[in-house]
Structure 1
Amino acid sequence: MALPITARGYSWTHADRDAPAVGPLDLDIAAGEKVLVLGSSGVGKSTLLHAIAGVLSDESGEATGELLIGGDAPDPRRGGTGLVLQDPDSQVIFSRIGDDVAFGMENLGLPAEVIAARIPASLRALGLNLPQDHPSAALSGGQKQRLALAGIHAMAPEVIVLDEPTANIDPGSAEDVRDAVLAVQAETAATMIVVEHRVGLWLDHVDRVIVLGRAGIVAQGSPTQVFRDPELRETLIDCGIWMPESSRFLTSPRGAAPDPGPEPVRSSPLATDGGQRSEGRLGEVLLRTNQLSVARPRMAIPAATDLDLSIRAGQALGLVGPNGAGKSTTALTLAGLIPEFSGRVLAEDVLREGAKRARPYAWPSAQLAARIGMVFQEPAHQFLTASVTSELELGPRLAGWSQPEVESRAAELLESLGLTGVAEAHPQSLSGGEKRRLSVAAMLAPRPRVIVVDEPTFGQDALTWAGLVEMFLDVLARGSAVVAVSHDQAFLAAIGARTIDLGRPTMVRAGDRGE
Structure 2
Amino acid sequence: MSAVELRGFGWRHAGRRAWAVRDVDLRIEHGERVLLLGASGAGKSTLLAALAGLLAEDSGEQAGSVEIDGLDPRKARERVGVVFQDPQTQLVMARAGDDVAFGLENRGVPAAEIWPRVAEALDRVGFPYRPDRSTSALSGGEQQRLALAGVLALRPGLLLLDEPTANLDPAGAALVRGAIGAALDADTTLILVEHRVAEALPLVDRVVVLEPGGGVRADGPPAEVFATHGAELAAAGVWVPGPPPAPRRSTSPAGEVLLTAERLGLPPRLAPADLTVRAGEALAVLGPNGAGKSTLALLLGGLLKPGTGTLRATPALAGRYADSPPHRWRAPVLAQRIGSVFQDPEHQFVTGTVRAELALGPRRAGRSEAEVSSTVDELLSRLRLDQLAAANPYTLSGGQARRLSVATALATAPRLLILDEPTFGQDRRTWLELVELLAGLRDTGHGVVAVTHDADFVTALADRTWRLGADAAPTAAPTVRRDGDPAPTVPTDDPRPVSG
* TM-score above 0.5, yes or no: yes
Please point out which of 349, 356, 359 is paired with 1:383. Answer: 349
User: Residue 98 of structure 2 aligns with which residue?
Assistant: 99
Please point out which of 186, 194, 198 is paired with 1:196. Answer: 194
SS in 2 for 1:309: strand
Structure 2 CA distance for aligned equivalents of residues 478 and 98 of structure 1: 49
SS in 2 for 1:293: strand
| Structure 2 counterparts to residues 23-422 of structure 1, below 5 A | 23-75=22-74, 78-186=77-185, 189-214=187-212, 215-229=214-228, 232-245=229-242, 265-268=245-248, 271-272=249-250, 280-295=252-267, 301-305=268-272, 307-355=273-321, 357-422=323-388
Classify 1:199/1:265 alpha carbon distance in 2 versus 1 (closer, same or farther; 3 Å): same
Structure 1 CA distance for aligned equivalents of residues 134 and 82 of structure 2: 22
C-alpha displacement of 1:506: 5.5
Asked if the contact 2:269–2:295 (Cα under 8 Å) also holds between the matched residues in 1, the reply is: no
Is the deviation greater in 463-472 or in 363-372?
363-372
C-alpha displacement of 1:302: 4.3
TM-score calculated relative to the size of structure 1: 0.89
C-alpha displacement of 1:224: 2.1
C-alpha displacement of 1:153: 1.2
Asked if the contact 1:85–1:164 (Cα under 8 Å) also holds between the matched residues in 2, the reply is: yes
Q: In the TM superposition, what whole-angstrom CA distance separates every residue of 1:179-220 from its partner, at most 9, and x where no partner exists?
A: 10121122x721110001111112132121000012110110
Structure 1 CA distance for aligned equivalents of residues 146 and 410 of structure 2: 32
Asked if 1:486 corresponds to 2:452, the answer is yes
Structure 1 CA distance for aligned equivalents of residues 56 and 302 of structure 2: 38
Structure 1 CA distance for aligned equivalents of residues 105 and 269 of structure 2: 34
Asked if the contact 2:104–2:153 (Cα under 8 Å) also holds between the matched residues in 1, the reply is: yes
Structure 1 CA distance for aligned equivalents of residues 367 and 458 of structure 2: 31
Please point out which of 419, 436, 453 is paired with 2:402. Answer: 436
Structure 1 CA distance for aligned equivalents of residues 28 and 235 of structure 2: 25
Classify 1:423/1:505 alpha carbon distance in 2 versus 1 (closer, same or farther; 3 Å): farther
C-alpha displacement of 1:103: 1.2
Structure 2 CA distance for aligned equivalents of residues 313 and 238 of structure 1: 33
C-alpha displacement of 1:146: 0.3
SS in 2 for 1:352: helix
Structure 2 CA distance for aligned equivalents of residues 382 and 362 of structure 1: 19
Asked if the contact 1:79–1:107 (Cα under 8 Å) also holds between the matched residues in 2, the reply is: no
Q: May I ask how many residue pairs the two structures share in their alignment? A: 474
Moved over 6 A (4+): none
Classify 1:79/1:473 alpha carbon distance in 2 versus 1 (closer, same or farther; 3 Å): same
Q: In the TM superposition, what whole-angstrom CA distance separates every residue of 1:447-469 from its partner, at most 9, and x where no partner exists?
A: 11111100000111111110000
Asked if the contact 1:302–1:341 (Cα under 8 Å) also holds between the matched residues in 2, the reply is: no
TM-score calculated relative to the size of structure 2: 0.91
Is the deviation greater in 66-75 or in 494-503?
494-503
Asked if the contact 1:211–1:220 (Cα under 8 Å) also holds between the matched residues in 2, the reply is: yes
Asked if the contact 1:160–1:193 (Cα under 8 Å) also holds between the matched residues in 2, the reply is: yes
C-alpha displacement of 1:151: 0.3
C-alpha displacement of 1:177: 0.6
User: Residue 298 of structure 1 aligns with which residue?
Assistant: none
User: Residue 489 of structure 2 aligns with which residue?
Assistant: none
Q: In the TM superposition, what whole-angstrom CA distance separates every residue of 1:243-285 from its partner, at most 9, and x where no partner exists?
A: 213xxxxxxxxxxxxxxxx5x62444xx25xxxx5xx342221
Asked if the contact 1:290–1:308 (Cα under 8 Å) also holds between the matched residues in 2, the reply is: yes
Identity level (%): 47
Structure 1 CA distance for aligned equivalents of residues 232 and 28 of structure 2: 23
Q: Which amino acid is 2:240 matched to?
A: M
Asked if the contact 2:82–2:151 (Cα under 8 Å) also holds between the matched residues in 1, the reply is: yes
SS in 2 for 1:354: helix
Structure 1 CA distance for aligned equivalents of residues 126 and 211 of structure 2: 35
Q: Which amino acid is 1:111 matched to?
A: P
SS in 1 for 2:339: strand
Q: In the TM superposition, what whole-angstrom CA distance separates every residue of 1:17-64 from its partner, at most 9, and x where no partner exists?
A: 122101211111001111000010111000000000011112221111
SS in 2 for 1:55: coil
Structure 2 CA distance for aligned equivalents of residues 434 and 492 of structure 1: 21
Structure 2 CA distance for aligned equivalents of residues 303 and 189 of structure 1: 44
SS in 2 for 1:425: coil
Asked if the contact 1:386–1:427 (Cα under 8 Å) also holds between the matched residues in 2, the reply is: yes
Structure 2 CA distance for aligned equivalents of residues 11 and 294 of structure 1: 47
Q: Which amino acid is 1:415 matched to?
A: S
Structure 2 CA distance for aligned equivalents of residues 420 and 130 of structure 1: 44
C-alpha displacement of 1:76: 6.8
SS in 1 for 2:320: coil
SS in 1 for 2:173: helix
Structure 1 CA distance for aligned equivalents of residues 475 and 362 of structure 2: 40
Classify 1:204/1:446 alpha carbon distance in 2 versus 1 (closer, same or farther; 3 Å): same
SS in 1 for 2:290: coil
Q: Which amino acid is 1:79 matched to?
A: E
Asked if the contact 1:303–1:505 (Cα under 8 Å) also holds between the matched residues in 2, the reply is: no
Q: Which runs of no fewer than 5 residues in structure 2 stay unpaired?
A: 477-500
Structure 1 CA distance for aligned equivalents of residues 473 and 177 of structure 2: 24
SS in 2 for 1:374: strand
C-alpha displacement of 1:339: 1.6
SS in 2 for 1:235: helix
Classify 1:174/1:324 alpha carbon distance in 2 versus 1 (closer, same or farther; 3 Å): same
Asked if the contact 2:314–2:322 (Cα under 8 Å) also holds between the matched residues in 1, the reply is: no
Q: In the TM superposition, what whole-angstrom CA distance separates every residue of 1:118-164 from its partner, at most 9, and x where no partner exists?
A: 11111111011311111111111111000000001111111100000
Structure 2 CA distance for aligned equivalents of residues 61 and 497 of structure 1: 45
Classify 1:266/1:493 alpha carbon distance in 2 versus 1 (closer, same or farther; 3 Å): closer
User: Residue 13 of structure 1 aligns with which residue?
Assistant: 12
